[in-house]
Amino acid sequence: MKRPILDITRLLTRIGRGPLTGIDRVERAWLEGLMRLRPDALFLARSGRRLIVTDLVGARAFRDHLTGRGETARLLPWQRRRGRLDPVRKAAEDCLRATALAMGTAGECAAQIWRLGVGEAVYLNLGHVNFTPQTIGLARQIGAGVAVMLHDAIPLTHPWFCRPESVARFERHVALVDRHADVILTSAEATKAVIRPHLAAEHRWIVAPLGVEKVPPAPPPPPGPARFVCVSTLEPRKNHALLLDIWEELAAELPAGNRPELHIVGRRGWHDAAFFARLDRLTGRDIGIRHHEGMADAALAELLGTATALLFPSHVEGFGLPALEAAARGVPVIVSDLPVFREILKDYPVYLNADDAYAWKKTIMRLVSDEQSRLGRSRKTPPPLPGWQDHVVGAARALGLLP
């Protein structure tokens, strides 16, 4: 079997910054999966200009920091004055350095890893970060294969939904993947079909649908106002503006006691200032809109359990993990009509055009007025969806990391 070298740089950058995003969750699933399935796995992270390679001992300590159980670093007075170092992240970096098997430049790390006798290996980059000439050089110097996960091609296919600088950065990332990746992983056939035309070389592909937590279906929501939940980072492609339009209309049409609730869960990403000003203005009015920034996973699970439906009106998605997590709980899901949802969720959701505000409003109001649907007595059976272990085991076996 080949020995995995998992890049955990993305998780390191996320420590101390609130709940994990969808791509973060993928990297975390692989961290936990390889710790359990391959105790000889190695883990790599970039800290400043140096690369750090650690083993199971370092990975366990790192996970403690990732989950908030690690100690906080003490910053020197000059470090506190500069204000650039987060004590939680610094503690995680210190723990990686303390358990390092190799540390330094790509060449220095390669020499140290050679002395360990790493054998046949695969460098895994799953997070769209730290895939650089330095890490590629390290992998090649120790004779490791290179496997990269591409979660979407949105900056290439829909650049108007992205920051200009992120488009250029993603173009460079995809160019490096095209030149250097031996294997490309993706989460759906639909996503692969979108990415493939942007690559010049032939690659081996592994399609591994992402996992969801295995939980029992949520009980029917209690009586009370209909409650709709939207989970995603606030950025243009997620189409939150459509929901704000609908709730403003409902505020003008319905008496206060009959208005449904809209709970928007997610951190502020990038958007125009006017949108955030509008969101702040509407959440300040008594029209049922609530914004939850930095909501913990347990609190989100509780909120979803009381939801009439999850709303997911995105213009484009690589996978759309929150829709799957809601479906796994048996919560009704209303999504944009995107190929990736058709592939993974089949006929479970209600599919609507992302630009058809009338259809979204009509569907929402049907759930508000349909007591049987709203209280769950006519809910569909949740579709069979893979768990995180299914995702990791399936992809790892295809990569030759498991027997």
Domain assignments of the chain as residue spans, ordered by start: 3-211+388-398, 227-374
Per-residue pLDDT tens digits for 221-280: 667 789 999 999 999 999 999 999 999 999 999 888 888 999 999 998 877 789 999 999
**What does pLDDT average to over the chain?**
90
pTM for this prediction? 0.90
The helix (H) or strand (E) run that includes residue 66 is helix 56-66
One-character DSSP codes across 238-288: G-HHHHHHHHHHHHHHS-GGGPPEEEEES-B-S--HHHHHHHHHHHTSSSS
CATH architecture of 227-374: 3-Layer(aba) Sandwich (3.40)
Provide the CATH number for the domain formed by 3-211+388-398 in this structure: 3.40.50
Point out the least confidently predicted range of 26-30, 90-94, 186-190, 241-245.
Answer: 90-94
Assess whether the region 3-211+388-398 and the region 227-374 belong to the same CATH fold: yes
Rounded percentage of the chain residues whose pLDDT exceeds 70? 92
Per-residue pLDDT tens digits for 166-218: 999 999 999 999 999 999 999 999 999 999 999 999 999 999 999 988 777 76
CA torsion sign, 99 to 101 to 103 to 106?
negative
CA distance 82 to 311: 42
pLDDT at 295 over 50: yes
